Amino acid sequence: MDLLTVILIAVAAFVIFVLLTAYFMKSTLYMNKEASKAELMNEIEDKDNDTTKKDDGN
């Protein structure tokens, strides 16, 4: 292989690495967003249940 082929393969490998890294970072951010959204909904449901219990007790 000549030098140009080696450089092209190295550039292609680097581009693939960058694209895969960006994809996994995006998917991780999406999963974290969904997890925090679910956690927020659970907190809201817990607060609703707490106020309902207090109202029933009075």
Predicted pLDDT at 53:
58
Predicted pLDDT at 11:
98
Mean pLDDT by 10 residues, the chain (58 residues): 95 98 93 86 76 57
DSSP H helices in 1-58? 3-57
Predicted pLDDT at 21:
97
Distance CA 7, CA 29 (A): 33
Predicted pLDDT at 50:
66
Question: Does the global pTM surpass 0.75?
Answer: no
Q: How many CA atoms lie within 13 A of 13 on its CB side?
A: 6
